[in-house]
């Protein structure tokens, strides 16, 4: 069993995997692709979505994907979207969370290709709709205590929602 990566380790791996795509979006893309089809990770689909020109060398990409998937699928529920340091300004963290959700939605759409929306579990449909709304949030916030509390609630919803989508899609695949 691999030792869990710290977020900074995973962020470095993301930066090594692509100098073009932001780590948050790249991480969301991997998690969404995995959640859309939990039975197998489609590396070629990931490359197609990210764009081969946006990715660096094969080793760095594989290390990032392996780290992201180990974190996302870990049974200890320590997964968290890769959005950077808690010490960063709220607007920067919110911007990265919206990027993460956009990446997740792209990956999920590719991973769940062939599934009609109505064939997805109702809870998954609701979370996907919520992630779409979150991906469109404006990152122009004051950063006061109320905004910080709201951000923490949204962040926790995204964290738990992503894992729930993964779990529900795996269960749906098992029952098919």
- Per the model's pLDDT, the better-predicted residue between 84 and 166 turns out to be 166
Q: Which domains does the chain have, with CATH numbers?
A: 7-175 (1.20.120.740)
Mean predicted confidence (pLDDT) in 77-104? 92
Give mean pLDDT, residues 138-149: 87
Least reliable range by pLDDT among 36-45, 107-116, 117-126, 153-162 = 107-116
pLDDT at site 141: 84
Q: Is the pLDDT of residue 154 over 80?
A: yes
pLDDT at 88 over 90: no
Q: Give the pLDDT of residue 1.
A: 40
Fill in the DSSP letter of residue 75: T
User: pTM for this structure?
Assistant: 0.92
């Amino acid at each position: 069993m691999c030792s869990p990566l710290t977020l900074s380790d995973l962020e470095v791996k993301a930066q090594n995997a692509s100098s073009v795509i932001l780590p948050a979006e790249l991480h969301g893309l991997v998690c969404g692709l995995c959640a859309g089809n939990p039975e197998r990770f489609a590396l070629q689909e990931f490359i197609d979505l990210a764009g081969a020109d946006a990715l660096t060398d094969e080793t760095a990409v594989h290390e990032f994907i392996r780290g992201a998937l180990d974190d996302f699928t870990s049974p200890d529920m320590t997964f968290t979207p890769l959005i950077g340091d808690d010490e960063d300004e709220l607007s920067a963290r919110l911007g990265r969370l919206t990027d993460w959700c956009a990446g997740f939605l792209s990956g999920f759409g590719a991973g769940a290709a062939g599934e009609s929306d109505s064939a997805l579990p109702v809870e998954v449909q609701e979370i996907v709709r919520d992630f779409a709304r979150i991906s469109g949030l404006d990152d122009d916030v004051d950063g006061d205590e109320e905004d910080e509390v709201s951000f923490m609630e949204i962040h926790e919803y995204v964290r738990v929602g992503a894992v729930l989508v993964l779990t529900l899609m795996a269960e749906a695949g098992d029952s098919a």
